[in-house]
Amino acid sequence: MTADPQTRMKELAAQVLEHRRRYFVLDQPVLSDAEYDALERELRDLEARHPLFADPNSPTQRVGAAPLDSFRKASHRTPMLSLDNTYSADELREWEARVQKGLAGVEPRFSAELKVDGLSLSLLYEGRALVRAVTRGNGDEGEDVTENARTIADIPLTLPEDAPGTLEVRGEVFLSRRRWEELNRERDARGEARFANPRNAAAGTMKQLDSRITAERRLSFLPWQFPGAAHHSLGMDQLAAWGFNRMPAHAEGTFQEMLAFIEAQAQARLLLPFDTDGVVLKVDALELQERLGATDRVPRWAIAFKYPGLQATTTLLGITWQVSRAGKLTPVAELEAVEVAGSTVRRATLHNADELARLGVRVGCRVFVEKGGEVIPKVVAVVPGTLPEGAAEPQVPAACPVCAGAVGKDSDGEVAWRCQNPECPAKITARLQHLGSRAALDIEGLGDALVEQMASRFAQPWDVFTLLDDPKQGLAYLAGLDRMGEKSARNVLEALEAARTKPLSRWIHALGIPMVGARTAELLAETFPTLADLWGADEQRLLAVEEVGPKVAAALKAFAALHPALPAQFAALGIAPAPSAPRDAAGLPLAGEVAVVTGTLPTLGREEAETLLKRLGAKVTSAVSPRTTLLIAGEKAGSKLAKALALGIPVHDEAWLLDHATMEP
């Protein structure tokens, strides 16, 4: 028997809400997009046919309503106070001493949560339905942005039966970095000014009078206060049970444990898919919070520890161009020195010519600079109103800035401009740096500073092994270079000697063949026992190798054709790569680990990181599960990171992985 319209609408609303929760909050969808769309479409149709039964808290209201003329002011039930900020552990200890004094000997427990960099919001539920959302404003009153709040997928519109009839929840509205980048690409296409950072984008979005625009931008929400909860930490757990998100990184315990949490999150927080700028410490028990009280501005029972800022503004002094081992020309911003994330930044990437045009930078303008994952500084936007009048638009160099060779694109659809000179010194330098890198041959001592001094001596990167032809001459040459002595020079020669017989897979990767990363090199070495075998392979044999497609096969054939005598040259140089035989993982640094790689790592590609993990004894999988024992995460890590944190799986960065590579037998 078909349910009456009102009952069916309630059933559909509940199903849509649950599937949205699975999609947006849990990242565990159980329906295809088409199946979900069918449910929502049926609900919309019923609401259109039976408007008297339509629920104002229906999930269909997430799309936004007609524009408002202005926002109404609304008073907070209790003031939304600010927090005292501190930037040092010593100041945190001073705060803790004041807390101890205020509690007259009672030993409190503390809670700590990452501080989301967004816009504060107070949500009011009456009859377990969302009735009002108000910005912080001046602390006593803010702007009523209820219609905008209804569009945010992880703000529940209704609460379950076990929730109080009247409830206030305070938290932060924010935008994920991925969504911020998507919005900026959309604004680029429309010729609109970019959002400088996710926080500005989120704040501006919540101030939109047209809530349909807010809905399109897909904001997020995390609660940070449940007024009236007996313990803050338990209150946050309860909100999670009622359908709110829970901050993935949080802790409860002694003050010393809070200091350890702050130290641990300095790097770990950068792997989250949204921006955080510090940690909020709170006395956990409501009773003790009330005993401590507040000033007219801040509570005495809470404080915010701030990490060094990840973004700053500075002046663009000039634009230079770097040349990679594949000849790619990359624009680099030369900046007036500025502190970002605790270090001085004078240069930042501008990515490529297309990004240069999208940013609209001009020499002399002010720019926003940030450290992506606190690793590589990058220019993200121009400060509005700072473009100098008459400043010329930067252009791609007509000739290679290093060798003056021709510049062009390898194909019409390619973004990158490249130096076309195969003997460009910049290419040799970058290729020699790659050959000696940890991911390739791991030649100790062959660092960037040394390579830059010696690269002009060699026609090809593997020619560095000619230094072993006459060890005395090689030693004298190296010892005479800047910042080198006899001991350092001897160490480099010993490392070169050891590299001659490293596994073939590492040698194939070290050659810098386009489209051949560490994983592909490993698969090739399993099929072809010597470099001569690989060089003599026809296309059909190459295509038979797992993960080798027509483009990779073509790149291999082109590289072999460019260096046809390489196997013989290797023999003359005493280079005899060892066959890449499978190894027993027992005794390796990561034996028994089940690892997943997510996000963008600073120097290693995904394939390279996975190959390195396998070489260290780990089993690599593509999805996070309860069986996963470690996650290697980089910038823009998303749902896999969130799931790993929720499961308590250890999360590490590239530096940790490379450190373990030095333990490899």
Catalytic residues: 115
What the block records as the tokens of 421 is 């000179």
In order of 397, 504, 550, 551, the CA distances from 547 in angstroms are 36, 18, 10, 11
Task: Specify whether the CB–CB gap between 116 and 276 falls below 8 A.
Answer: yes
Residue 406's DSSP bridge partners are 399
Token couple for 29: 């969808």
- Tell me the C-alpha distance between 561 and 514, whole Å: 13
Q: Is the dihedral of CA 541, 544, 546, 551 positive or negative?
A: positive
- Rounded Cα distance, 570 and 558, in Å: 19
Q: Environment class of residue 69 by beta-carbon count within 10 Å: exposed (0-12), middle (13-18) or buried (19+)?
A: exposed
Alpha-carbon distance 6 to 542, whole Å? 63
Beta-carbon-side half-sphere exposure of residue 51 (alpha carbons within 13 Å): 1
Beta bridge partners of 348: 333
Q: Is the dihedral of CA 474, 479, 482, 485 positive or negative?
A: positive
Burial class (CB in 10 A: 0-12, 13-18, 19+), 363: middle
Count Cβ neighbours within 10 Å for each residue of 100-134 and write b for 16 or more, e otherwise: eebbeeeebbbbbbbbbbbbbbbbbbeebebebbb
- Nearest CA to 362 among 310, 421, 316? 316
Residue closest to 143 by CA, chosen among 212, 74, 80: 74
d(CA 284, CA 509): 53
User: Is 252:195 a contact under the CB 8 Å cutoff?
Assistant: no
Interatomic CA distance for residues 142 and 75, integer angstroms: 6
Alpha helices in 293-381 (DSSP H): 353-359
Q: Are strands 119-126 and 129-135 parallel, antiparallel or unpaired?
A: antiparallel
Strand spans (E) along 211-284 = 220-225, 250-253, 276-283
Instruction: Tell me the angle at which helices 606-615 and 518-527 cross, rounded to the nearest 10 degrees.
Output: 60
